[in-house]
Amino acid sequence: MSPNRSSSETYQQNRLLSLLPQETLAGLIPHLELVPLDVPRLLETEGRPIRHAYFPLDGVASVLASVIGAQAKIEVGTVGREGVVGLSLFLGATHAVSDSFVQIEGRAYRMSALDFVEATRTFPALVAVLHRFSQAYMVQVSQCAACNRVHSVSQRCARWLLMTQDRVSADTFKLKQEFLGIMLGERRVMVSKAEASLRDRGIIAYSRGVVKILDRPRLEAVACPCYEVIRSVYDRMLARSGVMQRADSMCSIELR
Domains assigned to the chain: 1-124 (2.60.120.10)
Find the radius of gyration of the CA atoms of the chain.
18
8-state DSSP, 79: E
Selection from 2-16, 161-175, 219-233 with the highest mean pLDDT: 219-233
**pLDDT value at residue 253:** 44
Residue type present at position 206: Y
**pLDDT value at residue 256:** 44
Quote the CA–CA distance of 144 and 122 in Å, as a whole number.
Answer: 34
**pLDDT value at residue 69:** 65
Q: Which letter, b or e, does each residue of 206-234 get, where b requires 16 or more Cβ atoms within 10 Å of its Cβ?
A: beeeebebeeeebbeebbbebbeebbebb
Q: What is the pLDDT of residues 49-98, one digit of tens each?
A: 999 999 999 999 999 988 776 667 788 889 999 999 999 999 999 999 99
Region class of 6: left (phi > 0), else alpha (psi between -120 and 50), else beta: beta
Q: What is residue 156's three-state secondary structure?
A: helix
**pLDDT value at residue 249:** 56
How confident is residue 209, by pLDDT bands cut at 50, 70 and 90?
Answer: confident
**pLDDT value at residue 232:** 97
Q: What is the pLDDT of residues 100-158, one digit of tens each?
A: 999 999 999 999 999 999 999 999 999 999 999 999 999 999 999 899 889 998 999 99
Q: Which letter, b or e, does each residue of 18-43 get, where b requires 16 or more Cβ atoms within 10 Å of its Cβ?
A: ebbeeebbebbeebbebeebebeeeb
**pLDDT value at residue 181:** 73
Does the model's pTM come out above 0.85? yes
Quote the CA–CA distance of 192 and 144 in Å, as a whole number.
Answer: 20
Q: What is the pLDDT of residues 142-201, one digit of tens each?
A: 999 899 889 998 999 999 999 999 999 899 999 877 777 777 777 778 888 888 899 999
Residue type present at position 38: D
Are 79 and 85 in contact by the 8 Å Cβ rule? The answer is yes
Q: Where are the alpha helices (DSSP H) in the chain?
A: 8-11, 15-18, 22-28, 87-90, 113-122, 124-150, 153-168, 177-184, 188-200, 216-222, 226-237, 240-255
